[in-house]
Structure 1
């Protein structure tokens, strides 16, 4: 999907401001759908990748017959997802890998949580080879933050999540005991992330983790100006802002009385998806 740099001056200039704290309701629309007619096909394909976690949730809900609301942030309609499940149309090669290498062998025996971990792994391995430096670096950052957070669970009295590390071979320098090499090799601020996990309030902890994502996007897209990377970065921040708007306005409080049970599927689901509503740290 590599391509020469193309600028989208009008599109980037027209994007409204986003607030990381969720104080303003962002547009909930999928930018790839809204601006498909104005983008080069290669750039459109890259932008769609930013919204694929929503498609993953919708896809797995159908595969496991879960009665969950359809996530409208995704790229594909329920009917298109049916076509994907039937293997009649696979918009990305990693979906073919997921179905042929994992689902056909383990789909009937493994849990939803395992399927979600596997699908996220195929997705991130694909991003790491998509030949777009911005998406490659974002994927590695998310893998590091996700897996490092999963490794903190037992330390903080939560279930052992070693078996749910996502594409762990891609960030092997973080999956062992913390050492100085981790800090040198990692994109995430390892010491700062470890300190965040010492925060007792789960809502505050989750917000600080999302703030790391937000700042990473800000820093990495800065010099792209009007390229597709600027639009992709906006789409990623849009999803973070939307998540926090719903959390801030849902009447949620992080008291022990209303925290959900530590359900494994929910734990994995919240951590490996960049589009979700419930704070991962509270599960």
Structure 2
């Protein structure tokens, strides 16, 4: 049975994607509100914070002394211990460390990839698969939505630059398979992905910052619609965290930095694919 968080939700600040200042952070949430959650709901919220653990694991596998993001569920010491145990072939109980991370770390040492991007893609695929098995309908759907959205945008970009799409797709869903194999203009996904037209329009946006803003607006609208009737539940807290992180990211990224990032990406691609003149 769902637990209701009347006082917690009522006390949360109102957020909009256009906010330029925040008096509350993702880290604040964990410190102040996490202790008031039920055990079951903490595990749901943990799924959000695992994205930081993913990044931390990748860092520590490359450099055991790397500084990590403190927003994760695990400390550097805990992660180092888990990594060491798995490297030695020991097992780590699912109750203390997510099974997908154990799988990834074991694979990392047994079948090392030559490219860091392959490691990141493999970890992302495992993370999404793990999260989509969540019994909470909204949280599971949120991860499925993001996986589909990210993959469709990657496929559209790859097709535009005449790159091989299949190796770039993350995950093992029916949509993933369609993106890898279909030669149709819509990848055979019209009717299957109801926000496909929106993604096509977003993919045609040339300016990176504007494009990212449109992606986040799509995310924002989706989560608001999906939780319209979830007033004081853990789903509303999950949405608050997602929106809070989104705003934090935008506050830290100004337009000039975004344009510089875009140009650096294009510069990297120039050696590999034929870039249309308008991007040069």
Q: TM-score range by the shorter chain?
A: 0.7 to 0.9
Please state if 1:221 is matched with 2:253.
no
Matched residue, 2:146: 142
Please state if 1:207 is matched with 2:213.
yes
In 1: Cα distance, 2:4 partner to 2:261 partner = 49
Matched residue, 1:53: 51
How far does residue 97 in structure 1 lie from its aligned partner after superposition?
A: 2.5
Higher RCO (Cα < 8 Å, 6 or more apart)? 1
For each residue in 1:4-34, what CA deviation from the matched residue of structure 2 results, as whole angstroms up to 9, or x when unmatched? 2111111111111223135223523333443
In 1: Cα distance, 2:261 partner to 2:170 partner = 28
In structure 2, the CA distance between the partners of 1:194 and 1:72, relative to structure 1 (3 Å rule), is same
Q: Structure 2 residue aligned with 1:182, among 180, 189, 210?
A: 189
More displaced stretch, 117-126 vs 59-68 = 59-68
Matched residue, 2:272: none
Please state if 1:104 is matched with 2:101.
no
Matched residue, 1:231: 237
How far does residue 199 in structure 1 lie from its aligned partner after superposition?
A: 1.1
In 2: Cα distance, 1:53 partner to 1:26 partner = 23
In 1: Cα distance, 2:23 partner to 2:164 partner = 36
How far does residue 72 in structure 1 lie from its aligned partner after superposition?
A: 2.9
In 1: Cα distance, 2:188 partner to 2:156 partner = 18
In 2: Cα distance, 1:209 partner to 1:257 partner = 15
In 1: Cα distance, 2:15 partner to 2:109 partner = 41
For each residue in 1:144-178, what CA deviation from the matched residue of structure 2 results, as whole angstroms up to 9, or x when unmatched? 11111111223443864531311143523444334
In 1: Cα distance, 2:199 partner to 2:262 partner = 27
In structure 2, the CA distance between the partners of 1:183 and 1:23, relative to structure 1 (3 Å rule), is farther
TM-score by length of 1: 0.81
Matched residue, 2:75: 77
In 2: Cα distance, 1:155 partner to 1:26 partner = 42
Q: Structure 2 residue aligned with 1:13, among 10, 14, 23?
A: 10
Matched residue, 1:247: 253
Root-mean-square deviation (CA, aligned residues, Å) is 2.7
Deviation beyond 4 Å, 4+ runs, structure 1 = 66-69, 158-161, 255-258, 260-264
How many residues matched?
A: 258
In 2: Cα distance, 1:118 partner to 1:257 partner = 24
How far does residue 44 in structure 1 lie from its aligned partner after superposition?
A: 0.2
In 2: Cα distance, 1:179 partner to 1:54 partner = 33
For each residue in 1:118-137, what CA deviation from the matched residue of structure 2 results, as whole angstroms up to 9, or x when unmatched? 11111111112111101111
Unaligned runs of at least 5 residues, structure 1: 265-281
How far does residue 212 in structure 1 lie from its aligned partner after superposition?
A: 0.8
TM-score by length of 2: 0.81
Question: Equivalent residue of 1:125, what SS?
Answer: helix
